[in-house]
Amino acid sequence: MFGYLLKRLIQMTLVLWVVSVIVFLMMSFTGDPVFMVVPIDATDAEIAQARRLLGLDQSLLVQYGKFLTSLVQGDFGNSYVFRQPAMTLILERMPATVEMVLVAMALAIVVAIPLGVYAGANPNSRISRVIMAGSLLGISLPGFWVGMVLIYLFAVHWGVFPSSGRGDTAEFLGLRISLLTWDGWHHIMLPAITLSLGTMAILLRMTRAGMMEVGRQDFMKFARAKGATRRDVLYKHGLKNALIPVVTIFGLQLGDLIAFATITETIFSWPGMGKLLIDSIYRADRPVIVVYLMLVALIFVVINFIVDIVYTLIDPRITLK
Amino acid sequence: MKYLSQTALRAGAVGVAVLAAAASMAQAEGKSVTIGLTSDPSHLYPLAGEELSSNIMYYHLYDPLVKRAGDLSFGPGLAESWENVDETTWRFNLRDGVTFHNGNAFTAADVVFTVEKARESIRPDLVANIASITAVDDTTVEITTPKPYAVLPNDLAELLVLDEEYTTATGDTDMDLKPMGTGPYMLDQWIKEEKLVLKAFDGYWAGAPKIKEVTFRPITNPATRTAALLTGEVDVIQDLAVRDVDRVKKEGGFSVITRPSLLNVVLAMDMREESPTIEGKNPMTDQRVRAAIAQAIDVDAINKIVMNGLATPSDQYVPSSHIGHVDGMNFREMYPLDIDGAKALMAEAGYADGFTMTLDATNNRYVNDAQIAQALASMLAKINIDLQLNIMPKSNFWGYIRVPTENSSFIMSGWDVPSGDAGSMYGALFYSRGKKDGYGQVNRGSYSNAEMDALVDQADSTPKIEERDALLQQATKILMADVPMIPLHYEQDIYAARDGVMLEPRVDKFLWAYDMDVK
């Protein structure tokens, strides 16, 4: 286990380093950030002053060196646009995103797993066909369209949910959480539903495929023969064996949604961190982009680590090496 | 299950009741308004940078010495009055008894501090025309300019005064989060990307604000902004999407408010002998070719088809409210749409067969900018100019077209002059390049006319505003004849508000709750 952890840690450091190098290189092609900061009629002297204040007057290599040295000291650099620590900018927006994603993922699981098991166990029933057709819709409808339709129907037309924003929040362990207030729940539903549809459809199809595969195995018939109820056979014996690929996808989707929920956040003006990434790309705000993408890489590494551990719980034959 | 849904319903009812109670409580405390903006401000510290949302916040929190009204007229702000001591020295008499939100008294020392702070900041342009500043006594400052400069007060309308003691103690980074000014509102709460709440500063020198609480909500997506207005979540929205205008008008209880903005979308033509994207000699050195291009462009068609009627064709380089605008002169009448006439001009200049060049334009800076560029390509094709389009996001654009303009022949960009004076624009855009420091730095077409330079020089060295106006009007006439640049149209600012909100949009787009009222 210790060896495994060490290996993971080295891998992670390597990944983070590569991400930082790639972003630094990429950003030298996306335009000069200084022009995003100065007025358009700025004189050369004014531009030079801004460049100096932002630390952009040095060569890319020196800038990267400075970035690495301050990184080691726990300083992730300041945003060119906001002039604030990049890490703070991201972290203060993160709880809102994570919260929305967790609700979306919970929704996805609660709907997808039972429906997927059902559709896998009864592939030819009419209900299964309806479920599968629905899941195709879930995969193919673009999130921004679904979001707009939900806003139009539930906010403007029927007035049951608010159109945008996060609503009231309550403090918990120093974090602002909207799930602790009724108004917060009220605001989170539409964005969470929008965000969950794609994942829901994928999980549902994965579960169904796994169940159909497992259903043909002999141990399923044995289990039924020894007298286990149909429900126990499906959920205890079947689902458990169909779950490995589902968990893998779940982990990847979770990371993906946390990192890139941008579209949903923009449509519902949800104060999350995805929008920060897009804004920063538009403004060539390299420090924020670097830290953001490194953080995303870290999130993926951690999620995959947890997924690995979950594997061993689902299937004792798998061990971490 | 039935039980569960009933509790949910009951909880819902309680929630609604709580909301209603909260709303009526706010009513009792005083008037409030919620405004939907297109983006969250980047800054609350005026010397940290500028963009529209930040500017809107600055003028709520801080005050300048000279106040610019919504119609671009200038009047006393923190300075009660000012006079010229001599041609380059100005004396500003400061308002007595003004305090910052923290109770500190506003004095001449704060003004001196602000000017010096600006010089070291990312915005030295704010004080570019100030040579020195001294505090004569607590309520008088003397400012000298490098040369006679008639519009110094207009410039000072953008310099927001900081509290020396507080700003020094707080530091630049924290000033963005904990602003402290003399303005009509104080920061109450700022949750990034969610909402920014301002509370009225009842000790405001011009009288306590009528609206006691202002909430700004950043709603980037235009359709969501409209939805938030229609559902009553916000009272006013900025930049109503063009396609939603009819929808909001049809809905009862809302009004759509439009006004021409200051942003003039212009086409700069390269006038060097050789141009980066044109083979051989540059045809646009010939005034007839430039005039032909102007006459081939159908601004009304662009307005109708691309802008949905929500643009105002430009008559000159600056709007009629500005110093330097010539009354009665109209670019559209001087160069009316006339394809045959344009073709004749091209033939006269020896380019009957036209030529090929590239237009550089943005796709995320101006309203429908990429579509305007496409329309231009098809219009210029009629006079045999093969216009290639090079369209890019604004993050790449400004560096790409930057003087010395090594890549561009034909550039579409926008220009606005909130200082109400054509001088700064003419000096930056039309003064010969590289002749004088601080002039011609954005002259992307390399236009050079000794007469024009002389007029700008004279305008920038007279302390009399009438003389400046006369000189700049002469400059305008030269430009209109020379056509170094084609003015297309002014974008229109579109707001929407629920009935009962009194809003008179400002020409400079800076929404100001102090001037608003709600019923």
ipTM (interface predicted TM): 0.88
| Cβ-Cβ contacts under 8 Å, A276 against chain B | 193
Say whether pLDDT at B508 is over 80: yes
pLDDT at B13 over 80: no
- For domain A86-314, the question of CATH label 2.40.110.10 is answered with no
The reply to whether B191 touches chain A by the CB within 8 Å rule is yes
pLDDT of B365 over the 60 cut: yes
Answer yes or no: do B424 and A41 touch at CB < 8 A.
yes
Given a cut of 50, is residue A77 above it in pLDDT? yes
In the prediction, which pLDDT does A321 show? 65
Please say if the pLDDT value at position B15 is more than 60.
Answer: no
Residue B3 has pLDDT above 60, yes or no: no
- What's the pLDDT band for A224 if we cut at 50, 70, 90? confident
What's the CA gap between B347 and B350, in Å, rounded? 5
**pLDDT, average across residues A220-238:** 84
Q: Kindly state whether residues B335 and B305 are assigned to the same domain.
A: yes
CA distance A8 to B14: 50
Tell me how long chain B is. 519
Helix A240-259 vs helix A182-215: crossing angle, to nearest 10 = 140
Task: State whether residue A168 is helix, strand or coil.
Answer: coil
What mean pLDDT comes out for the span B157-161? 96
- Domain residue spans in chain A? 2-72, 86-314
B130 found inside a domain: yes
Report if residue B20 sits inside a domain. no
pLDDT in tens, B225-263: 999 999 999 999 999 988 899 899 998 899 999 988 899
Above 50 in pLDDT, residue B19? no
Across A240-267, average pLDDT:
90
How much is the pLDDT for B6? 40
**pTM assigned to the model:** 0.86
**B3: in domain:** no
Q: What is the pLDDT of residue B444?
A: 92
- Residue among B220, B402, B424 minimizing CB distance to A266: B220
Between A and B, how many residue pairs show a Cβ–Cβ distance under 8 A? 145
Higher pLDDT: B514 or B403? It is: B514
- pLDDT tens digits for range A285-310: 889 999 999 999 999 989 988 998 89
Question: Do the Cβ atoms of B441 and A159 come within 8 Å?
Answer: no
pLDDT mean over B339-368: 94
pLDDT band at A12 (very low <50, low <70, confident <90, very high): confident
Nearest to B227 among A38, A78, A163 (CB): A163
Burial tier of A229 (Cβ tally within 10 Å: 0-12, 13-18, 19+): exposed
The rounded distance, in Å, linking the Cα atoms of B272 and B121 is: 35
B247 and B362: one domain?
Answer: no
CATH of the domain at B144: 3.90.76.10
> What contacts A218, CB < 8 A, 6 or more positions away?
none
| CATH number of the domain bearing residue B392 | 3.10.105.10
pLDDT at B432 over 90: yes
Both B123 and B197 in a single domain? Answer: no
B86-135 tens-digit pLDDT:
999 999 999 999 999 999 999 999 999 999 999 999 899 999 999 999 99
Q: What integer pLDDT is reported at residue A265 of this predicted model?
A: 93
Q: Give me the pLDDT at residue B14, please.
A: 41
> What is the mean predicted confidence (pLDDT) over A170-180?
83
Answer yes or no: do B220 and A275 touch at CB < 8 A: yes
For residue B225 the two structure tokens come to 């902004």
For residue B403, the tally of other CB atoms under 10 A from its CB is: 17
Query: 154-173 in B: which are within 8 Å (CB) of A?
Result: 172-173
Return the pLDDT at B54.
95
- Which residue's structure tokens are 């006339």? B338
Return the higher-pLDDT residue of B167 and B308.
Answer: B167
Residue B295 and residue B188 share a domain: no
Q: CA-to-CA distance for B235 and B215, rounded, in angstroms?
A: 10
State how far residue A259 is from chain B, nearest Cα, in angstroms.
Answer: 17
Q: What is the pLDDT of residue B437?
A: 85
Does B27 have pLDDT greater than 50?
no
Question: Tens digits of per-residue pLDDT, A78-104?
Answer: 998 898 999 999 999 999 999 999 999
- Residue B7: its pLDDT value, please? 40
Mean pLDDT of B8-27: 43
Query: Which one of B11, B172, B194 has the shortest CB-CB distance to A166?
Result: B194
Task: Check if B121 contacts A (Cβ < 8 Å).
Answer: yes
Interchain contact, A43 vs B437, CB within 8 Å: yes
Q: Is the pLDDT of residue A203 over 90?
A: yes
Q: Which residue has the higher pLDDT, B52 or B18?
A: B52
* Inter-chain residue contact B122 with A32, CB threshold 8 Å: no
Name residue, tokens 């003015």: B487
Q: Among partner residues A46, A96, A162, which is closest to B125 by beta-carbon distance?
A: A46
Same domain, B268 and B290: yes
- Based on the fold, state whether residues B268 and B396 are members of the same structural domain: yes
CB environment A76-108: b (16+ within 10 A), e (fewer): bbbbbbbbbbbbbbbebbbbbbbbbbbbbbebb
Query: Residue B11 CB: number of other CB atoms within 10 A?
Result: 12
- pLDDT (average), residues B355-360: 96
Chain B residues close to A182, C-beta within 8 Å: 11-12, 14-15, 18
What tokens does A297 get? 């890489």
Peptide bond into B404 cis (omega under 30): yes
pLDDT value at B198 more than 90 = yes
- Nearest by CB to A271, from B122, B125, B194: name it: B194
CB contact under 8 Å between A148 and B49, yes or no, is no
Of B217, B223, B428, the CB nearest to A41: B428
Cα-to-chain-centroid distance, residue B204: 26
Beta-carbon contacts of residue B139 (< 8 Å; ≥ 6 apart): B93, B94, B95, B96, B107, B108
Q: Indicate whether B116 and B265 sit together in one domain.
A: no
Mean pLDDT of the B189-215 span: 95
Residue A7 above 50 pLDDT?
yes
Domain that holds residue B118: 63-165
Residues B240 and B320 in one domain: no
3 state SS of B23? helix
Give me the percent of chain B exceeding a pLDDT of 90. 79
Interface contact A30-B172, CB threshold 8 A: no
Residue A144 is predicted with a pLDDT of: 87
Mean pLDDT of B39-56: 92
Mean pLDDT of chain B: 91
Same domain for B204 and B144, yes or no, is no
Encode pLDDT of A268-280 as tens digits: 999 999 989 988 8
Confidence class of residue B60 from pLDDT cuts 50, 70 and 90? very high
Is residue B377 scored above 70 in pLDDT? yes
- Top-confidence range, A35-44, B213-222, B415-424: B213-222
Residue-by-residue DSSP string for B410-454:
EEEEEE--TTSBHHHHHHHHTSPTTSSTTSSTT-TT----HHHHH
Q: Are residues B201 and B243 in the same domain?
A: yes
pLDDT at B29: 62
Distance of CA A116 to the CA centre of its chain: 22
Q: What percent of chain A has pLDDT over 90?
A: 45
Q: Are residues B327 and B373 in the same domain?
A: yes
Look at chain B and report how many structural domains it folds into.
3
Q: Is residue B5 part of a domain?
A: no
B16 neighbourhood in chain A, CB within 8 Å: none
In this prediction, residue B11 carries a pLDDT of 43
B222 lies in the same domain as B332: no
